[in-house]
Amino acid sequence: MNILFLTITRILDVEERELYQDLMREFRNRGHNIYIVSPRERRYGESTEFKAISGVHILGVKTLNLQKTNIIEKGLGTLLIERQFKTAIKKNISGVDFDLILYSTPPITFPNVINYLKKAYPKAKSYLLLKDIFPQNAVDLGMLSKSGIKGLLYKYFRNKEKNLYSLSDYIGCMSPANVKYVIEHNPEIEPTKVGIAPNSIDLCNQSSIEREIILEKYGLPIDRPIMIYGGNLGKPQGIPFLIDCLDANKDRSDCHFLIIGDGVEYDRIDSWYSRTKPSNVTLFKRLPKLDFEQLTGACNVGLVFLDYRFTIPNYPSRSLSYLVNKLPLLIASDVVSDMGPIAEKNGFGYWCESDSVDGFTEVLDKMLNSDIKGMGERGFDFVRKNYLVSNTYEAIVKHL
């Protein structure tokens, strides 16, 4: 099949080990012809370019900054991207009869380009990988509202969202709670076109470097469990609550907390870290990907935080890095996400609500008194059965 994939993730080569690169590599390895449309944000100073690399065609489109930037540029860039993608596709990709048009959220501002593609390739199926339920998530975090001036923006984006759903022949959600939410809040959608296409990973050989060597390299203790949080430090993660949990447990000697990440809330946690100087917390702003993967593999428990205000179910992909390295999950989230219940039901994690520091401390105690290694093995087994790229691949192609 000829497959066109649209994303706002920066993709330079499908041989990179990331969420969408893993999936596109799976499609390529199954013998399909892959065309990827990906942004080249302003910060990189690159022009639009179309080239083939690693057996895949990649169209890099010059855009404004879409991530890790101020809200004005992000908003403007999100509004402009569909026109930029449409123009670049018309100019650079022609003569290809596509069978599948695949695209992910964010953003939800793709309806016009999807509508154009469906008219240009009437035989092609359109498949939405729903990773972000916007604008409701922005309402949950107080960034938008359903009334007043912000309400006008909400209505605009909500119409875009509904339009994108209607243009999609199929919608793949991250978890059962996602499927239920989409169907219940969008009754006009035919339920049979909504299913599960989970975040997934390609199993690769893990690092064989001894744990002690890696931990000593970063000045981390080798005599106690390391609890790692790695990833975005932004509004959705509820960083003030993460800080409260670290502060409440900063005098413990039976575990060590490792925070690695970047984002709009990094300065907040860095300020607390510099002021408090906790002996059982280590903070790194970022690490090269290989170093991060090796360090993750040397840790013992993966931390997941989500803001308690969410009314839409999230399922962070970062958990896959933990599980594939045989780390059980300690999850602090809102009550609508099914990530915690899934982890507890299958024996690879514990969950608490992300508005109770005492609740976090309780599940932390519970984790430290559990068979951490055995829980990690169960998590790894769950990944092999449910979260491999082959699972997502099969969920998509079964419709074609």
> What is the mean pLDDT, run by run of 10 residues, along the chain of 400 residues?
95 93 96 96 93 96 85 84 93 91 92 94 96 94 92 94 96 96 96 95 74 93 96 93 97 97 93 96 92 93 97 93 96 96 97 97 98 97 95 93
Give pLDDT, residue 242: 98
31 and 149 inside one domain: yes
Residue 344 lies in a domain: yes
Q: Of 143, 162, 197, which residue sits at a domain end?
A: 197
The total number of structural domains in the chain stands at: 2
175 and 254 in a single domain? The answer is no
Residue 146 has a pLDDT of 94
Q: What are the tokens at 226?
A: 């390391």
CA 96 – CA 349 distance, rounded (Å)? 46
Indicate whether 226 and 176 sit together in one domain: no
Q: Is the peptide bond before 316 cis (omega within 30 degrees of 0)?
A: no
* 232 and 109 both lie in a single domain: no
Give residue 206's pLDDT.
59
Say what the pLDDT of residue 371 is.
97
Q: Which residue, 170, 197, 224, sits at the end of a domain?
A: 197
**Has residue 188 been placed in a domain?**
yes
Q: Which helix (H) or strand (E) holds 350?
A: strand 349-353
Alpha-carbon distance of 214 to 26, in angstroms, equals 31
pLDDT at residue 73 in the model = 85
Compute the distance between CA of residue 208 and CA of residue 298 in angstroms, rounded to an integer: 10
Rounded (10°) angle between helices 71-92 and 111-120: 10
**Is the separation of the CB atoms in 330 and 353 below 8 Å?**
no
Residue 187 counted as domain residue: yes
Q: Are residues 332 and 296 in the same domain?
A: yes
Pick the last residue of a domain from 164, 197, 230.
Answer: 197
Co-location of 225 and 187 in the same domain: no
pTM reported for the whole predicted model: 0.92
The pair of structure tokens assigned to 179 is 């499927």
* Model pLDDT, residue 289: 87
243 CB neighbour count, 10 Å cutoff: 18
Residues 90 and 163 in one domain: yes
Q: Which residue has the tokens 């040397």?
A: 298
- As to burial, measured by CB atoms within 10 angstroms (0-12 exposed, 13-18 middle, 19+ buried), residue 99 is middle
CATH number at residue 185: 3.40.50.2000
